Chain A
Amino acid sequence: MLSIKNLSLTIGDISVLKDIDLNIKPGQIMGLVGESGSGKSMTALAVMQLLPHASKTSGEIRFGDLDILNATEKQMCNLRGDEIGMVFQEPMTALNPVKTIGEQIAEGIRFHTGASGKDARDQAARILEQVGLPTSKFGLNRYPHELSGGQRQRVVIAIACAIQPKLLIADEPTTALDVTIQAQILDLLKKLVEENNMGLLLISHDLGVIADAADEITIIRSGEIIEAGPTRDILRNQSHPYTRQLAKASTHVPVRKTKPVTALDAKKAQTPPLLQVTNLICEYPTKRNSLFEKPLPFRAVDDVSFDIFPGQTLALVGESGCGKSTLARTLLRVHEPHSGGIEFEDMDLLNSGHQEIIAARRHMQIVFQDPYGSFNPRHKVSNIISEPMHLVKRKIGKDELVDALIQVGLEANDLEKYPHEFSGGQRQRIAIARALITKPRLIIADEPVSALDVSIRAQILDLLNYLRDKFRISYLFITHDLSVVRAFCDDVMVMNSGKIVETGSVSQLFDNPASDYTKQLLAAAPDLQKTLSARNS
């Protein structure tokens, strides 16, 4: 149905794609896997002829009888949305916020089929039913902001599938979603492919997702196809070194030299906890109804208690909006809690003076998720990583800064550079160097590897592991990615709508989850190893 032959693409003077070959048959799911910048999205945009200006293509893209590269804009307009649908990554921005979901779905139907308003609405209702948003509960007159992220992505899929396209292109459709929602959306896509016998080009950086969903897989790196074929064969044989490398990085487990520290062991050995949190409650004011009424509070963290012991790596797992980040920020006293207690090494952090809190803070540092947003773009690396030295009230020598950089795998001459000169992985190293500069005992890592490609993620996990072994640092490791938890952490805490629903050691929690929510999370998480063994048998 869709066949791409020798597709090459240059934008300006930069070669983006080289000799891409790809075929999709009706009813087939083709997985396109690659790291960021590999040209996955550009391949999709080339099919839709939505490439940026100054791009030159050569080769051939055929869709049915149509030669896409030589098609007129009018032919493409008929093709887009009618024969080929597209689903984007970010459900928050892919919908028009001032139109109802019904209007947005009907719009495409009316444009392409010339149906009357009523027919289009009826059809929109049918499609919404099909994507799991029954109109009895989700009326056509709802606005996008009234829906959750997963529901919005369903609407986006509904728009793309409204007039039963022959081909659907889904560019990272689940990357912005939580694992349970991700599993639902993937199931939905699989169901639609089966019911409508359409082809699906599923683009993802996550080998786990692709291994689970795709019939065929194409692995792409820097614009070139590395390997292609049936998913099972490719992932079982792993004949190309890059495929091996990707699969290995996806399931990478850092080698720990010291013994894991679990809460159970620590309590047995009567080690005093490093951080003790008791009955912590954090509230946000919500929108107030009138000027004189007190706004109603929203409880983001609800009666949370836990301990972190020296050297322990405690994972905090939960879906977006469950209160993970609020908890982290409260521990650092960036947010004020409503009530509860935080003790750090026997010091009451909530009722101490400013000076004492400053002194304690040097032992608690944070690493953020976004390696692009966590540095002031106008500061040099030397300024960035020496910032926490403010806590110690001491000027830091250049030697120490150089040491700090070398420790995280960067070079001395990186000190004089600005953040934009580094790649994502290098930036995360800078963030870690900044957190380490005061020689902290506890690092709160808020999704430190979520924004990174798998190979970089493996490197950063190795680095965090190395530091843990060397300095006996404790981590509070906040993540939504269960495979990272399993590879890296000692104990796990599962959080759901502000409450801790389950705590336990990694092995205990993964093998014998007690709460329903944990079971649900585990079932939804894409697990490459599990999928592979299931496919092999």
Chain B
Amino acid sequence: MSDQSVENSKLVHIERETWRNFARKAMRNRSFTIGAAITLIILAMALISFFWTPFDVTKLEIIKRLKKPDATYIFGTDHFGRDMFSMIMVGSRNSIAVAFVAVAIGLVIGVPLGTLAAARKGFVEEVLMRFNDLVFAFPALLSAVMITAIFGPGAINAIIAIGIFNIPVFARLSRSAAMTIWPREYVMAARVAGKSSARITIEHILPNIANLLIVQATIQFSLGILAEAGLSYVGLGTQPPMPSWGRMLFEAQTMIGFAPHMALFPGIAIILAVLGLNLLGDGMRDLLDPKLRRER
């Protein structure tokens, strides 16, 4: 047996190596590092905006309106004389909050539905997935417009609208992923041990599909930011005086000829946030999903 334990300790050693390899690979994965850096910067911006912004975003100073970017107002000011940089900081808070809660809604409702469909099969599955298809068939923004049109514009309703769009995404993903885990023998062993489907789902299915869900959540997060910007742009999202990236773009529209900076900076902010999250998601998929992992 001593030979055996030597062998075992070697294996443990190899496993620790792989963890270090994993960290090294993560650092070497360009989309992961760039994506993570951008996301962290935007997150930091949002957090700092709670305590400090260069200027007060609710204070209107008409004298200072439409200033070009300079040393004091690095992104310039808008037509009410508010500091664009401060508004983008506060706006990021909004975008992140809306997208985060919307993804959470998708996860909390979609994943149980999807895993339930995978566990039950038959009629339950059919009903759940066809209902999913129905929700999925509406373009995200359209259904969001519909919901906010009925319940009135506002950040909360925007969250609900985007969240509802996220539900079928997660339901489908978790169902198909769970279906690949169900026929595994360790699930069979758990069934032989008399465990219920719910318990098997929690103990065996979810930990093994978590990778996929995390990656998808990152990507949905970026889509959420985009959707929030879109809703605010048409006036159905965050309401004034709270700044929001989408509405900043809308307000810039009429002034684009003589104050292009008003459109430029919120636009860049949206692009960067979406790009950063997508890169992060892609990088994580490369790192977490062994089937898609490529050696570089």
Q: A residues engaging B (CB < 8 A)?
A: 329, 332, 334, 358, 361-362, 364-366, 368-370, 373-378, 384, 387-391, 411, 414, 417-418, 420-423, 426, 434
Contacts and interface: CB of A to CB of B under 8 A. Distances in A.
A421 B8 contact: yes
A375 B192 contact: no
Nearest to A53: B295
B185 interface: yes
B186 A421 contact: no
B189 A387 contact: yes
B195 A366 contact: no
A421 B12 contact: yes
A373 B192 contact: no
Interface in B66-115: none
Nearest to A334: B191
Query: 6 tightest CB-CB pairs across the interface, nearest first?
Result: A374-B185, A388-B193, A368-B185, A391-B194, A376-B186, A358-B194
A378 B207 contact: yes
Contacts of B189: 366, 368, 374-375, 387-388, 434
30 contacts: A329-B188, A334-B192, A361-B192, A361-B194, A362-B194, A366-B188, A366-B189, A368-B188, A370-B185, A374-B186, A375-B186, A376-B186, A376-B204, A376-B208, A377-B208, A378-B208, A387-B189, A387-B195, A388-B189, A390-B193, A390-B194, A391-B193, A391-B194, A411-B1, A411-B5, A414-B8, A417-B8, A420-B11, A420-B15, A421-B15
Interface residues of B, number: 23
B207 A376 contact: yes
Contacts of A418: 15
A421 B17 CA distance: 13
A332 B189 CA distance: 10
A411 B8 CA distance: 11
- Most chain B C-beta atoms within 10 Å of own C-beta, residue among A358, A365, A370, A388: A388
Contacts of B207: 376, 378
Contact of B192 (A388, A420, A421): A388
A335 to B, nearest CB: 10
A366 B188 CA distance: 9
Contact of A365 (B185, B190, B192): B192
Given A376-B204, A388-B194, A390-B195, 4 more contacts: A332-B191, A374-B185, A387-B189, A422-B8
A478 to B, nearest CB: 13
B35 to A, nearest CB: 26
A365 B194 CA distance: 11
B7 interface: yes
Contacts of A374: 184-186, 188-189
B192 A332 contact: yes
Interface string B260-288: 00000000000000000000000000000
Interface in B25-76: none
Contacts of B15: 418, 420-421
A368 B188 CA distance: 9
Interface string B188-206: 1111111100000001100
A334 B188 contact: yes
A378 B207 CA distance: 7
- Most chain B C-beta atoms within 10 Å of own C-beta, residue among A334, A376, A387, A388: A376
A332 B194 CA distance: 10
A414 B12 CA distance: 11
Interface of B: 1, 4-5, 7-8, 11-12, 15, 184-186, 188-195, 203-204, 207-208
Contacts of B204: 376
A302 to B, nearest CB: 23
Contacts of A362: 194
A421 B11 CA distance: 6
B12 A373 contact: no
- Most chain B C-beta atoms within 10 Å of own C-beta, residue among A364, A378, A384, A414: A378
Contacts of A426: 4
A365 B189 CA distance: 8
A422 B14 CA distance: 12
A423 B7 contact: yes
Contact of A373 (B186, B194, B203): B186
Contacts of A417: 8, 12
A370 B186 CA distance: 10
B188 to A, nearest CB: 6
A291 to B, nearest CB: 10
Contacts of A421: 8, 11-12, 15
A376 B193 CA distance: 14
Contact of B190 (A329, A377, A378, A387): A387
B193 A373 contact: no
A292 to B, nearest CB: 13
A368 to B, nearest CB: 4
Nearest to B186: A376
B201 to A, nearest CB: 12
Given A376-B204, A423-B7, A387 B184 contact: no
A368 B183 CA distance: 13
Contacts of B4: 411, 426
A501 to B, nearest CB: 27
A423 B204 CA distance: 22
Contacts of A370: 185
A137 B7 CA distance: 53
A390 B190 CA distance: 9
A358 B193 CA distance: 8
Contacts of A373: 184-186
B6 to A, nearest CB: 12
A28 B248 CA distance: 81
Contacts of A423: 7
Nearest to A357: B194
A509 B131 CA distance: 56
Contacts of B190: 387
Contacts of A358: 194
A311 B14 CA distance: 43
A492 to B, nearest CB: 24
B177 to A, nearest CB: 15
A366 B192 contact: yes
Contacts of A414: 8
A217 B213 CA distance: 51
Contacts of B192: 332, 334, 361, 364-366, 388
A332 B187 CA distance: 13
- Most chain A C-beta atoms within 10 Å of own C-beta, residue among B1, B4, B186: B186
A434 B192 CA distance: 11
A426 B1 CA distance: 12
Contacts of A368: 185, 188-189
A369 B191 CA distance: 17
A426 B193 CA distance: 21
Contacts of A434: 189
B9 to A, nearest CB: 9
Contacts of B193: 361, 387-391
B229 to A, nearest CB: 38
